A and B are shown apart, each in its own frame.
Chain A
Amino acid sequence: MSSSAGATHLEVESLTKRFGTLAAVDGLTLHLDEGEFVCLVGPSGCGKTTALRIIAGLEKPTAGSIRSNGRDITALAPAERGMGMVFQSYALFPNMTVAQNIAFAFGRGTHDRQARVSQLLELVDLARFARRRPNELSGGQQQRVAIARALAREPRFLLLDEPLSALDPQIRGRLRNELKLLQRRLGITTLMVTHDQAEALAVADRIAVMRAGRILQIGTPREIYTAPADPFTAGFVGAMNLLPATAESEGTVRLLDKLPLAPRHEMPRGAKIIAAIRPEHVEFSNAPDTLAATLVSREFQGAFVRLSLAIAGLEQPLLVDVGNGAAVPDDGAAVAVRFPPEHVRLFAADAAR
């Protein structure tokens, strides 16, 4: 499905959509390389679906441009942009068979429509189901019909709007893997919107974290997870402890007014700081430079156990993940925790807003 050699890519520049005074999308810039799978992830209402619909041509931007292979497609009709889209509900027509649903995308008078429908059904491995109605298919099969329909006009780009949210949680995990494999096989440049950060981490080549109409950070899943650029991304992607701290003189930061930490770069003196550390990086230790805590409760998560600790001066519990074989004190026990400096990331607190 992907075009031959050459840089098929999508450039979204400073895309803005205002509804009255509210900017649903606010200067969004995003470049997709050929064959890449990019996830736009953010909380509901962050503008990610609006952005996707503008890129698809279903909404008009207030400002900004979209280029495909260098060609400006901002003003083109949806069908002229070389994009296929899979909707959150799949938008399959329940009164038509699977084959008719796909054939609908060709319109009348398309040359060898029948053969092309069969080809698409083969592609998504649904040839046996051509005569079924959508409501006779499983959620995953319906999704593949929607993908086949989106691919009917041989698009350069595939746009996916929350394609997994209509599915049961149990099969979502399996299907996101299938989705990823299908995208690899087709080699089609794909932009997917999701509110589920775990989903984004699992399928995307690159992730763009969105909040309030803006992109906060773009990077590979590993980059986003290990080196979040701001406290929002840090807290949104994966589990994270966000702890208040203050910058002191001589390049030290004091956590909760107690524990000194060594910042990697200079912080203005007296600045409010947020220290972020993942639960799996917090260590129990009796060494100096530890904080006293009380073990409150535990959640068995299968591969690991997540502990909740109470620390004086900290409102929310401190989360600590330990292996499920690790020896853990009883609930109510007094413990001491250490924050390995290489795993602590510091952010200026005003960046949180």
Chain B
Amino acid sequence: MSGARFRPRADWLVPLFYCAFLLFFFAAPLGLLAVKSLTGADGSLTLENYREFLRAPDLFASLRNTLYLGVATVLLTVPLAFLLAYGIERTRIPLRGFFGHVGAASLLAPSLLPAMALVYLFGQQGLLKDLLGGHTIYGAPGLLLAETIATFPHALVILRTALTAADGRLYEQAHLLGAGRWRTFFALTLPAARHGIVSAAFVVFSLAIADVGAPKVVGGNFDVLALDIYKQVLGLQNFNLGAVVAILLLGPTVLAVLFERWAARRQAALRASRATPYAPDTNIGRDVALFSACALIAIGIVGVLLVCQLAAIVKLWPYDMSWTLDHYRFDDFDGGGWDAVTDSVLLAAVTALAGTALVFGGGYVAERLKPLRWARALYSALALAPAAVPGLALGLAYALFFNDPANPLHVIYATFWILLIANVVHFFTVPHLTSISAIKALDPEYEAAAQMSGRSIFSVFRAVALPLSATALAEIALYLFVNAMTTVSVVVFLYPPAFKLAAVAVLNMDDAGDAAPAAAMGMMIVYVNLFARLAGALATYCLRRRGGPADVPVMEIAAV
């Protein structure tokens, strides 16, 4: 290809670099994880670890519990999220915009936070403990509720997208043909959204089973695989058995993500290019019912956050409700102090900047460069895979891979850099898909037009592709920032002693019985993320006012 004449080296080296990056920082560590799960105590290859897993009744019960938790969370979350999404997208009830923001709020919090709120409300010293009538919140019920709140925003975003894409012409036609409301709902609305529903279900499933935060806080005796990995590795130092559990957890999440991708593609294909927008009508009965449901959901989510904030500023929940700022003296507790907050912000900011640059560049290379078709195809395939790997599995794989002194990059082990790379790789897929859709929206002839003028592909990237993708870049950066702030799973095996992270500190302080400071720090994470979101919204608003580029659809699927 003649493009090679401009930057012969960059044209070939850049795709190779991207392939090498994902092979080395994703495929190789996971490969080692699989090998470790098959390595016996004497170092030989064996299935002994898996046999041990099957023999241990506790671990086998965890497998059952995990699947149960995943399915139950789906059955609870998806219908609730559908209600809210329907209320927002298909009716004209008041406060729709507010409901949308509240519904997405728990994205900003670590998954520990809803679990902690449940403990404050229904735990041993819970405010509303008596409502349970002697039952305990610890175990399956609490875990189910906590995962529902934590996964709710992910389902909401997918279902809103599915319901937004209504073709008004079909509804006019149904009305002209005399179809009633329910008939229209079951004949038009539900079928059009079915792939979105399936997609949401698989996302919720894989998120719920991969989470370690909520089980740690409210799981009680209801053991799940994610917690087993945590215990095997940090408690018992049994890395090989931890690897077995991680590989077993990987199975369902990989399947779920494969189904999710399939459903999401089908959903996207349903979007008719010439659809006219659907204009919702008013129906008092339906709207009152939906408004009530939406309001209840919103109250639940806001309540969870409020309880955590309240618990953080009272002396001793629920006995001494006089207010204090003592719990904000993080340095007095064993979690890392205020440094944990600043370190987390630093890590999240660098993850956002470096990750956005890396991923968008990779998407551009994969879509727009001509040479090395195989390398670009390999990169595109690899870039989709991290979404299927639970953070704990990736974190454990990194610990095993980079702790090996023979590894050429052993020096990054237990440094800031391994946290950075682990975060970028763990959250790679969504930014990649967002980049691809932004790049696909660019005229395919830009590079050819530049070539005709003797300008390099890089000049198109810099002067055209980047400015035109500004909104997508901002979305990607925000996504990376917020997730890096809240994640526990991918960093919990990796953080160095001198570099504390806020989300991990929440886990550790809660574990040590310092529930109030844990809640205080959890809410700090929420505020930092909220601030970032607002700043992002402002930036996007300014971009648009400046007559900037049009919106590109942002892929809002979750990383497990």
Q: Mark B448-492, 1 if CB is under 8 A from A, else 0.
A: 111111110001000110011000000000000000000000000
Assembled-state Cα–Cα distance A169/B468 (Å): 29
Q: Mark B137-180, 1 if CB is under 8 A from A, else 0.
A: 00000000000000000000000000000000000000000000
**Taking the nearest CB of chain A, how far is it from the CB of B520, in angstroms?**
44
B440 at the interface (CB under 8 A from A): no
B2 at the interface (CB under 8 A from A): yes
Q: Mark A82-102, 1 if CB is under 8 A from B, else 0.
A: 011101110101111000000
In this complex, the interface size class of chain B, counting residues with CB under 8 Å from chain A, is 20 to 34
**Taking the nearest CB of chain A, how far is it from the CB of B68, in angstroms?**
51
Q: Which residues of A contact B284 (CB under 8 A)?
A: none
Choice from B1, B449, B459, B468 contacting A149 with Cβ under 8 Å: B449
B549 at the interface (CB under 8 A from A): yes
A107 at the interface (CB under 8 A from B): yes
Q: Which residues of B contact A85 (CB under 8 A)?
A: 448-449, 452
Known: A56-B448, A58-B448, A91-B445. 9 other contacts (CB 8 A): A58-B451, A60-B1, A78-B452, A79-B451, A87-B448, A95-B549, A105-B452, A107-B453, A107-B454
B446 at the interface (CB under 8 A from A): yes
Assembled-state Cα–Cα distance A104/B455 (Å): 8
Q: Mark B332-361, 1 if CB is under 8 A from A, else 0.
A: 000000000000000000000000000000
Q: B547 and A133: CB pair below 8 A?
A: yes
Choice from A59, A83, A96, A107 contacting B452 with Cβ under 8 Å: A83
**Taking the nearest CB of chain A, how far is it from the CB of B469, in angstroms?**
10
Q: B443 and A91: CB pair below 8 A?
A: yes
Q: Which residues of B contact A96 (CB under 8 A)?
A: 463-464
**Taking the nearest CB of chain B, how far is it from the CB of A156, in angstroms?**
13
Assembled-state Cα–Cα distance A107/B450 (Å): 10
Assembled-state Cα–Cα distance A59/B453 (Å): 16
Q: A93 and B452: CB pair below 8 A?
A: no
A338 at the interface (CB under 8 A from B): no
Within 8 A of B (CB), among A39-84: 53, 56-60, 77-80, 83-84
B21 at the interface (CB under 8 A from A): no
Q: B1 and A152: CB pair below 8 A?
A: no
Query: A58-B2, A60-B2, A88-B445 in contact; A78/B451 too (CB < 8 A)?
Result: yes
Q: Which residues of B contact A77 (CB under 8 A)?
A: 2, 5-6, 451, 454
Of chain B, the residue at the smallest CB distance from A153 is B453
**A: which residues have CB within 8 A of B?**
53, 56-60, 77-80, 83-85, 87-89, 91, 93-96, 104-107, 133, 149-150, 152-153
**Taking the nearest CB of chain A, how far is it from the CB of B421, in angstroms?**
32
Q: Which residues of B contact A149 (CB under 8 A)?
A: 449, 453
Q: A78 and B2: CB pair below 8 A?
A: yes
**Taking the nearest CB of chain B, how far is it from the CB of A60, in angstroms?**
7
Q: A79 and B468: CB pair below 8 A?
A: no
Choice from B2, B446, B448, B455 contacting A105 with Cβ under 8 Å: B455
Q: A104 and B463: CB pair below 8 A?
A: yes
**Taking the nearest CB of chain B, how far is it from the CB of A76, in angstroms?**
8
**Taking the nearest CB of chain B, how far is it from the CB of A102, in angstroms?**
10
Q: B445 and A87: CB pair below 8 A?
A: yes
Assembled-state Cα–Cα distance A272/B366 (Å): 53
Main secondary structure of the interface of A (DSSP, over half): loop
Assembled-state Cα–Cα distance A106/B451 (Å): 12
Q: Which residues of A contact B450 (CB under 8 A)?
A: 104
Assembled-state Cα–Cα distance A93/B549 (Å): 11
**Taking the nearest CB of chain B, how far is it from the CB of A24, in angstroms?**
16
Q: Which residues of A contact B459 (CB under 8 A)?
A: 104, 107
**Taking the nearest CB of chain B, how far is it from the CB of A255, in angstroms?**
46
Query: A89-B445, A95-B467, A95-B468 in contact; A79/B547 too (CB < 8 A)?
Result: no
Q: B452 and A79: CB pair below 8 A?
A: yes
Assembled-state Cα–Cα distance A107/B462 (Å): 13
Of chain A, the residue at the smallest CB distance from B455 is A107
The 9 closest A-B pairs by CB, nearest first: A79-B454, A105-B453, A91-B445, A91-B449, A77-B5, A87-B445, A95-B467, A78-B451, A93-B464
Q: A150 and B452: CB pair below 8 A?
A: yes
Of chain B, the residue at the smallest CB distance from A152 is B453
Q: A89 and B443: CB pair below 8 A?
A: yes
**Taking the nearest CB of chain B, how far is it from the CB of A192, in angstroms?**
16
- A selection of 19 A-B contacts at a CB cut-off of 8 Å is A56-B452, A58-B448, A58-B451, A77-B2, A77-B454, A78-B448, A78-B454, A79-B453, A83-B452, A84-B452, A85-B448, A85-B452, A88-B445, A89-B445, A95-B468, A95-B548, A96-B464, A104-B450, A153-B454
Assembled-state Cα–Cα distance A106/B463 (Å): 14
Of chain A, the residue at the smallest CB distance from B547 is A133
**Taking the nearest CB of chain B, how far is it from the CB of A155, in angstroms?**
9
**Taking the nearest CB of chain A, how far is it from the CB of B450, in angstroms?**
7
Q: Which residues of A contact B451 (CB under 8 A)?
A: 57-58, 77-79
Of chain A, the residue at the smallest CB distance from B548 is A95
Choice from A60, A87, A104 contacting B453 with Cβ under 8 Å: A104
Q: Which residues of B contact A133 (CB under 8 A)?
A: 547
